[in-house]
Amino acid sequence: MDLARRLFMTQAARVTAGAAFVPLAQVAQAGINDQPPRRGGDPTKRYAMLIDLRRCIGCQACTVSCHIENEAPLGKFRTIVSQYEVENEETGALAQFMLPRLCNHCDNPPCVPVCPVQATFQREDGIVVVDADRCVGCAYCVQACPYDARFVNPRTQVADKCTFCAHRLEAGLLPACVESCVGGARIIGDINDPESQIARMIDEYHDELMVLQPDKNTAPHIFYLGMDERFVDRPEARPGLWDVRDSDGAELGYEYAEH
Amino acid sequence: MQSIEVIAPRYDIAWYPWAVQYFFLVALSYTSLWLAFPGTVLGLERWKPVARLALVAAVTTAIVAPVSLLADLHQPLRFWHFYAYFTPWSWMSIGSVFLPLFVLLTVALAWLVWREPMKAWRGPGLVGGVARIVTLGDWTSPRWSVVLTGLGAFAASIVVAVYTGYEIAVIKGRPLWHTDFLPVMFVATGLIGSTGLLLVLDRFTGTRAAELRAMGRAASRSRATSRQLLMVLLIACVLAGITAALWFAVGLGNRDPSVAAALDSVQDNPDWRAMTFRAIATGGLLFLGVLVLLLRPQIRGLAWVFGLLALHTAWMFRWAVLMNVQTVQRQTAGFSEYHLAMGSGGLLGIVGSFGLWLAVLMLIDIFVPWRAALGGAGEPAVSPDPKGVPSHG
């Protein structure tokens, strides 16, 4: 059988299997834009991350190691540390505020129900992932995420996002950003396991922890310790360095120009 | 607190001008179908001239709209995944089922209506040959088939109108989109656009001139088609105005955060302020212009100019909603810049989809005697020579 024919047969099989995988009961139960059932992953676990901002120095080691581990194109980030220079209006004193951002692996992820082909889904362990072979690149999920945690990868032309380095977790390793964090600010773990460091810290600091954009009702599972509530929503800030241009005004530092 | 975001990453837009083209063309299509409904399905004699134009508008835009939609996918060849993995809880997936249905039924309706006059064109030559094949026999399109197909297309058009609106309005990640007023506004501006398109078609396909010639100069001021189109346009303007005012009023009462988000954007950015003033001015000018044209029949020859303005309004609304809103940063400082690219993802895509629409319109104009449909007078200058292309001077 030649390759083209074999490909066609596989696709035809997928079409049939796909049709069979939409049980009628599900159609009846799920209202429009409701969360579909989770699938895959370990149902006994719920991965989450706690970021101890008191320990973050804004070195961007997580940004770089994530880029290398997950091969995100330059200019696109699965994680990045927002760095703010804050001035006290009365005293004029300056302070730095560092805010690592990544996918919040929400319990009510707005990116999941919008996907028209169920390519993006939430695993039973809470990790939100994208099936790159199924994704049609409609970018609906990119629009739906209030945290700008998703992008369409210009190289693969499908949706791309943080997976908590699921491939590393499965191999018993820590995510690249956690592994490389010099201050030990990022703590990942299973919040269902009361003995885990993250579960113990959530217990200990319960009243101090904050999440981003809580009013969006997404139930984020990235918890910030040492957070300032003025940074929970989009902070009032002026952009500093926007993008880097050379003397002719041509853009430097981005691998891909505007699409 | 004053703060600077030291390095603000720029998040590119994810939907390109193709999306604007799709939302524009599909809205023109479903609202045109509604304008064709009274003359075609209900058989109202007074609305048949409007229906003749509206059917052409509905079919041409229905054919081109899905092409733009497909082009906005980053993986267009995977479109079949929509059908392999049907997802009833996603508005986009629901749309992927009803959009082809709408296109199919609209084309079928036009075929049933157009094949009647087309039968007279059967003969030798290319145009005659196409008429021979397309009419599929000498039978008369039964009235019930037109009514049933029309009702089906109408039902599908309602779903398309609802899904295109809620697909956007459901996104709480972009507060400017997350309002129930948006779907209503899409319909109202769609109707503004389609009546505008019909006024332009009325002028440039020669239907207006032909009808005026037949009526004689004295009676020309009482031409019903122009009055009907202008009246619908006026109603659509009022509907859009009321919707916008209600949205604003509800937002000021703090019950619609999308208004607060809009005010933030307008305050922060001079481009947004300019855009808002332009939009209000254009809407006001359109409303006043249409009102004057309704009151002064002797200058209705200018109606097509306001038709173009109406099309511009419908298009710009979609551009502002779909493109400009994407430049509002959601968690980092500033606005992300968007420069219209020259290539197929930008300007070429916009020009190209309009070009494709024009090509479809010309093909229909060459091969289909649409002016003679629904008891129309037909082509005044149809050449009896089968080798010649009909001219509409």
Tell me the average pLDDT across A51-80: 93
Residue A2 pLDDT more than 70? no
* Domain residue limits at B78: 17-331+338-375
- Give the mean model confidence (pLDDT) for residues B2-13: 81
Q: Does A21 sit within 8 Å of B333, measured CB to CB?
A: no
Mean pLDDT calculated for residue range A79-89: 92
Contact B81 A31 (CB under 8 A): no
**A113 touching B (Cβ < 8 Å):** yes
Per-residue pLDDT for B284 more than 50? Answer: yes
C-alpha span between B233 and B290 (Å, rounded): 7
Give the span between the Cα atoms of B49 and B68, in whole angstroms: 29
Q: Is residue B4 part of a domain?
A: no
User: Does residue A72 lie within any of the structural domains?
Assistant: yes
Q: How confident is the model at residue B379 (pLDDT cuts 50, 70, 90)?
A: low
Give yes or no for a contact between A105 and A130, defined as CB atoms under 8 angstroms apart.
Answer: no
pLDDT band of residue B61 (cuts 50, 70, 90) is very high
Residue A210: CB partners within 8 Å, gap ≥ 6? A223, A224, A227, A229, A232
Bigger pLDDT: A253 or B334?
A: B334
Q: Report the residue from A144, A239, A259 with minimal CB separation from B345.
A: A259
Is a pLDDT exceeding 50 seen at residue A28? no
Residue B392, domain member (yes or no): no
For position A101, which CATH number holds?
3.30.70.20
Taking 60 as the threshold, does the pLDDT of residue A16 lie above it?
Answer: no
Instruction: Tell me which residues of chain A, numbers 146 to 165, contact chain B at a CB-CB cutoff of 8 Å.
Output: 146-148, 151-152, 157-158
Mean pLDDT of B127-134: 95
Mean pLDDT of A132-144: 97
Q: Is the confidence at residue B102, as pLDDT, over 60? A: yes
Q: Residue A6: inside a domain, yes or no?
A: no
Kindly indicate the confidence band of residue A251, based on its pLDDT and cuts at 50, 70 and 90.
low
- Nearest CB to A134: which of B85, B172, B326? B85
Given this model, what pLDDT does residue B128 score?
A: 95
Q: Is A196 on the interface with B (CB under 8 A)?
A: no
Would you say residue B387 lies in a domain? no
**A21: confidence class by pLDDT, cuts 50, 70, 90:** very low
A167 touches chain B (CB under 8 A): no
The beta-strand segments (E) located in chain B are 2-7
For residue B288, is it within any domain?
yes
**Chain B contact set for A213 (CB, 8 A):** 331
For residue B171, tell me if it sits in a domain: yes
Confidence of residue A10 (pLDDT cuts 50, 70, 90): very low
Nearest-Cα distance to chain A for B342, in Å, is: 10
Query: For residues B200 and B385, which has the higher predicted lDDT (pLDDT)?
Result: B200
Average pLDDT of every residue of chain A: 86
**A247: in domain:** no
Q: How far is B183 from chain A (nearest CA, A)?
A: 16
pLDDT of residue A12: 45
pLDDT for B10: 74
Instruction: Give the pLDDT of residue A29.
Output: 55
Mean pLDDT calculated for residue range B10-31: 94
pLDDT at A11 over 60: no
- Does residue B389 lie in a domain region? no
Whether the CB of A14 is below 8 Å from some CB of chain B: the reply is yes
Q: What's the domain range around A146?
A: 33-227
A232 belongs to a structural domain = no
> Rg of chain A's alpha carbons, rounded to an integer?
20
Residue B5 lies in a domain: no
Distance from CA of B319 to the nearest CA of A (A): 16
- What are the chain B neighbours of A115 within 8 Å (beta carbons)? 87, 90
Contact A235 B341 (CB under 8 A): no
Instruction: Tell me the torsion sign for CA atoms A43, A168, B78, B355.
Output: positive
Residue A175 falls inside a structural domain = yes
CB contact under 8 A, A114 and B74: no
Tell me the chain B residues in contact with residue A148 when contact means C-beta distances shorter than 8 Å. 11, 329-332
Does residue A215 lie in a domain region?
yes
Number of domains in chain A: 1
pLDDT band at B158 (very low <50, low <70, confident <90, very high): very high
Q: What is the ipTM of this complex?
A: 0.90
Name the closest residue on chain B to residue A146, using Cα atoms: B173
The total of structural domains in chain B comes to 1
Query: Do B35 and B194 meet the contact criterion of CB atoms below 8 Å apart?
Result: yes
pLDDT for the residue numbered A257: 40
